[in-house]
Chains A and B, each alone.
Chain A
């Protein structure tokens, strides 16, 4: 589905990504973790075309998409969400979702399965309200619902659980699993390791711009290098 080949990027003298290589298989649910400043967000930006890597190539569904602008990647089915609650503040919830469907991937209706997921996110009752009137948690769900509405084949979720309460987190986890069952490949970045470890089948760990571990969550979090990266496991315990 997605293949990264020797991705390197630096801002000025600061090397944020160094020779990153990994493959995301079709239908996979992958977690991307790492301490603050590890380069997770930059990696997301590189994959989704907001930042073009100085070295390396990106392949999406066997097509070299290095240097593609964001909107073209989205139309191919590579879509991301953003940290925080990012919506079109002056549009109604309904219109936000309509905007997202406007340039959806061809043939991505998947038999109404998407609508079910959107309904699962429980946004129906707010449809006519303005997006800016939603609570932070709901606005975040709307952000995910919008990304889904594009008919994404590969969905990159940037800290989807941050700021959600326990109940909302559970709904989110359920939605992500259901989504994976519909055939969407998903990559999730999150600081909340509990959230991630219960969810994904494979985790990739970044530290200081390097890929330091790759494997099942239980194995990865037991690796000394990973524990060291998280400063003696403090973050691991804290989630």
Chain B
């Protein structure tokens, strides 16, 4: 009898401790969302063309990093084709509008479908038998192939000189998405959509299975998880989101070129994720701000940026494998968690 009482007491204490932990772990998330909404509202409140331009650029860039996080941060697959799909999306949408006479908005679902097919076709053989460094090499080669193809199909894509984009998203329900501020809202909306998707994935059985695959493929397979299918699905989702970001970038920059697909951009995107914190929700945003925002604000010449960022990547992967987001998390949760 007394034993039972004692047990129920310890259980009650355990439950309340758990509740407390849940409360404190929600706090950084709330602060994060507040900071993000504050950051996103700056270009709307602050009237500066440059700030709006930079904000749009950052939002689209962050969306691509969020998408990479799904395949690299969650599933642990080193995909180096993010910028290739970003460029593919831009071209696919632009060509659908130019050659088929579609509306910008109508071109988006078609672009997504085409990208998903292409990504699955590339991802399946790349992930069926290989992984790790092989996947990085295959996706790298695929990206270069796509870039060279785009640069050499003069009649179709305009070749290395690129393509002018004359159309805008236009006015939808009284809001002009073609204006600088409209494009900013579009880019932010897309970033939030990507974040939402990544959070939904993270909390789903599918997402947990991706984390399981990242940690131990053999164990995951032994528990009935089709490892290849999960990796390919993550890769396809990530590539599709990157392509949609590219389509929006096209109307924002009004000019696209094969340079969008360059491998150094893919590497930079990987760098942003590593710096921010792979596998975390806030990591991609933090990484983008540090990677793109910091040099922009410091006005470092473009040639030195990669050098600077290279040093940051090496330092981060050596001393802080969970990125800035992981560091903040550790600071907040403090002694409760064991440091790695």
Contacts and interface: CB of A to CB of B under 8 A. Distances in A.
Given A82-B219, A99-B212, A71 B18 contact: no
B152 interface: no
Q: Tell me what chain B mostly uses at the interface: helix, strand, loop, or mixed.
A: helix
B223 A103 contact: yes
Interface residues of B, number: 23
A99 B338 contact: no
A177 interface: no
Given A86-B216, A88-B216, A48 B222 contact: yes
Interface string B297-340: 00000000000000000000000000000000000000000100
Contact of B219 (A87, A98, A105): A87
Given A98-B205, A102-B208, A128-B18, A90 B215 contact: yes
Interface in A88-119: 88-91, 95-96, 98-100, 102-105
A102 B215 contact: no
A99 B220 contact: yes
Contacts of B224: 71, 74-75, 79, 102-105, 150
B149 interface: no
8 contacts: A74-B223, A86-B219, A88-B219, A99-B205, A102-B209, A103-B223, A146-B219, A147-B223
A2 B279 CA distance: 40
A50 to B, nearest CB: 7
B222 to A, nearest CB: 6
Contact of B208 (A74, A87, A99, A146): A99
B223 A146 contact: yes
Interface in A44-86: 48, 50, 69-71, 74-75, 79-80, 82, 86
Nearest to A81: B222
Contacts of B212: 88, 91, 96, 99
Nearest to B229: A71
Interface string B219-237: 1111111110000000000
Contact of A69 (B219, B221, B223): B221
Size range of the chain A interface in the assembly: 20 to 34
Interface of A: 48, 50, 69-71, 74-75, 79-80, 82, 86-91, 95-96, 98-100, 102-105, 125, 128, 133, 146-147, 150
Given A71-B227, A98-B205, A133-B338, A90 B211 contact: yes
A88 B209 CA distance: 10
A87 B205 CA distance: 17
Nearest to B226: A71
B9 interface: no
Contact of B223 (A79, A89, A95): A79
Contacts of A104: 224
B49 interface: no
Contacts of A147: 222-223
